[in-house]
Every structure is written in C-alpha cells, then in structure tokens.
Amino acid sequence: MQLTELANVAHNRATSKYLPTADRQKWSRIATYVHKAANSILKDYDGYAINEKLEELTGRVEELMEEAEKPGE
C-alpha cells in the first residue's frame, strides 16, 4: 500500500461517523503522521533532484567559460 492510499484510509476512518470519537482521534493522528512522512520524502527528493541539476548546470557553465577563454578558435 502506498502512502497516499494509507493517508486516504486514515482520513476516511478519522471522519467516519460510525467510529467512536477515541478511534477517530487515533486515525486522525495516523493520517497526520502519514502526511508528514510523505511531505518529508517529497522534500528530500526535491532537494536531491535540485542538487543534481545544480551540479550539472555548474559543470556546463564551467565548460562554456573554458571555451570562451580559448583564443580565436
């Protein structure tokens, strides 16, 4: 089961009018935890992807600067 599915299940149970309040509160905490975990993963992934692109762009800029410094080619 994926995090989005877990979040949906937890949300549905947290908002179910057929469960006792104590159970809904537990499911609400679980839904919050799942969403926090998903956000953390996405933030880390985005940061990793951005760093990869930044390194790639830095390398390309350095190559272009070296080419620009070469006399009359």
pLDDT for res 29: 94
pTM: 0.64
pLDDT at position 50 over 80: yes
pLDDT at position 62 over 80: yes
Q: Where are the domains of the chain?
A: 3-69
Please state whether 66 falls in left (phi above 0), alpha (psi between -120 and 50) or beta: alpha
Return the number of other C-beta atoms located less than 10 Å from residue 3's C-beta. 14
Amino acid identity at 41? I
Torsional sign, CA 42, 11, 9, 14 = positive
Q: Which pLDDT band holds residue 64 (cuts at 50, 70, 90)?
A: confident
Amino acid identity at 8? N
pLDDT for res 6: 92
Q: Which pLDDT band holds residue 12 (cuts at 50, 70, 90)?
A: very high
pLDDT for res 73: 56
